A and B are shown apart, each in its own frame.
Chain A
C-alpha cells in the first residue's frame, strides 16, 4: 500500500463524513482515481474516495455488472457498496492456471484495473424505471423527527415521498437497501440507543440515508413508517425486492390499504 493513497483515503473520509451527514450536500469528487487493496487472500477491495455520491456509486455498479457478465478465471462474486466493490476470487485456481503470476491478487488487480478504466468511459446517466413502494407512515419516531425539525408529521411525509431515491447498496441484513439522499429538512441522526427489535417492514432514516428493515432486527434508525411489502422473500429465486442501482419512490397509504396489501 502506498502512503499517499492511504493518506488521501483518510482525509477524504473525514470530509465526507462530516460535511455529508450534516449538510446533505452531495460531494462530487473531481478525480475518479481508484484504489485497489487486498481484503483477504481471496478478495480485493476496489474503492474510490469514500463518499455518498451517486456518480461514484454508478461507477461501482457499472464495474459490478461488467464483472458479472465478463467474469475472469477464478472469479467467485463481487459485492458493491457506496464507493467500493469487493471482488472475491479463488487464488488456488488462479495460481494453478497462471503459475507465472507472483500473487493471485496481482493477477486480479490487473484485470480489475483495466475493466475500471473501460467502464470509466461509459455513460452512467441512463434512466432507470422508478419502483414505487407503499408506506403506512405510522412510525414510532415520526412525531420526534417532525418536532426535531419544527415540521408537522404531514410535512415530514411529503418531504420523504417527494424524492426519487437512489439505492446505493444492499448490506447489513439480507435485502436491506441503503437509499438516499433524503431532503435536507428531514436529515436525522440515528437514535442514541438502538432498539433491541425493529419489526420487519419498518422504514427508517439515519442521517441522509433511508432504508427498510427486511426482517426483525436490532437497529438504531429513526422509524417513520412501515411497508406492507415483503422486502426479502426467501421462497423466491430472486428474493430481494430493492437492489443496488434501483430507483425508488415512496407513497403514503392509510391503515386500511396497509392491511389489504400486508404480505407479512
Chain B
C-alpha cells in the first residue's frame, strides 16, 4: 500500500498545517503554502485537516499507486491525469491499482496538493509532518521527494464515487481571484516609510520575482524609501509579513520564513488572502490594499467558517457512502 515516485518534480514535499510551539527556539511553523487547498484536499479525501499531504510545484511529481486508493487534488491547476485521462480537482477520485498520477500542463496557480484517504505515512518532527529542509526533519526523511521514493499509504480504498461531492467552482473563483488586490494590515514600522512610498505601495503594481520560494516572495517594483535610514534590532515576524529590504525592494515572508527579522516590517498580508498569494506564480503582478485589523479578523473567521462547512459536507458524504 504505497505511492511510488516515478519522477520527483522540482520541489515536492510532504506538508501539513505546520508546527507550533517552537518559534521561541527559532523553529518556524513551515507547513503548506496554501492552507485552504491543503485542508480541502484532506477533507475531500475523507480525512480531517491534520493528515499529511504532498505539495508539488510545476513540473510536478509523477507517481504510481501500488494499491487502489481514494485521492483528491487541490490547489494549482497543473492538468492532473490518471493513466493519461484528465481528472477533476477538488473532488474525491478513486484510482485503481497501478494507476499513474501525472501533471501535464501549468495552467494556473503555483502549487498543487495531493490528499489520500486515511493519509500517508510520514515522519512527525516537533508535532508536525511538515518537511523542515534546513534541519532535514519531518515529512519524508526531511527532504524533497526523489525518484523511487516509496510513501506508504494508510488504507486501501475500494469506494466507488458514484455519488459526487465537490467544492463549488464559484467559491474557488472568489477565493483565488487573481485580479483582486492582496489585502494587508499596517505593519509596526510602516510609519518609517516616507509619504511617497506609503502612497506608492498602495497605488502601484509589484511583480513576484524569480527569486521567490517557500521562504519568501521577493517583489520587484518601485523602490520604497524610509524617511531616515535605520538599523533595527531583530524582532519576530510571521507568514505574510512584508519587509523592506535595504535595496528598497519588498519581500513577503512565506511558509518557511525565519522566526525573526531585522528589516522594517511594513505590512502583513491578511491570512484570508494567503492561499491566493501562495497560488500566485513567479512573474505575476500584485497590488496591495490596506484594510483594518477588524476586517482582517472577520475575513479569517469567514474562511474558517467556509472550511468548517466543507468539512461537515465531506463528513456527511463519507458517512453516507
**Interchain residue pairs with CB less than 8 A apart (15):** A13-B230, A14-B228, A40-B268, A40-B296, A47-B235, A51-B233, A79-B260, A88-B20, A95-B301, A103-B297, A171-B258, A173-B26, A174-B132, A175-B26, A217-B134
Min C-beta distance of B206 to chain A, whole Å:
20
For window 166-180 of chain A, which residues contact chain B by CB distance below 8 Å? 169-176, 178
Q: How large is the interface on B (under 10, 10 to 19, 20 to 34, 35 or more residues)?
A: 35 or more
For window 215-234 of chain B, which residues contact chain A by CB distance below 8 Å? 228, 230-234
In the complex, A43→B239 CA distance in Å?
11
Q: Which residues of B contact A228 (CB under 8 A)?
A: none
B27 with A174: CB separation less than 8 A? yes
Of the candidates B189, B258, B265, B300, the one having the most CB atoms from chain A within 10 angstroms of its own CB is B300
Q: Which residues of B contact A183 (CB under 8 A)?
A: none
Encoded as 1 (CB less than 8 Å from any A CB) or 0, chain B from 95 to 137 comes to: 0000000000000000000000000000001100000101111
Which of A116-124, A157-165, A232-240, A247-255 makes up part of the contact surface? A232-240
In the complex, A39→B199 CA distance in Å?
21
B297 with A82: CB separation less than 8 A? no
Which of B188, B260, B268 lies in contact with A172, CB distance below 8 A? B260
Of the candidates A10, A64, A174, A178, the one having the most CB atoms from chain B within 10 angstroms of its own CB is A174
B interface residues, Cβ below 8 angstroms from A: 20-27, 125-126, 132, 134-137, 142, 185-186, 188-189, 191-192, 228, 230-241, 258-260, 265, 268, 270-271, 293-294, 296-297, 299-301, 304
Q: Which residues of A contact B260 (CB under 8 A)?
A: 79, 81, 169, 171-172
Of the candidates B24, B126, B134, B228, the one having the most CB atoms from chain A within 10 angstroms of its own CB is B24
Which of A39, A50, A92, A95 lies in contact with B236, CB distance below 8 A? A39
Interface SS, A side: mixed
In the complex, A86→B241 CA distance in Å?
13
Q: Which residues of A contact B228 (CB under 8 A)?
A: 14
In the complex, A83→B234 CA distance in Å?
9
Residue of A whose beta carbon sits closest to that of B25: A240
Q: Which residues of B contact A172 (CB under 8 A)?
A: 26, 234, 258-260
B25 with A39: CB separation less than 8 A? no
A41 with B270: CB separation less than 8 A? yes
Which of B231, B235, B258, B294 lies in contact with A103, CB distance below 8 A? B294
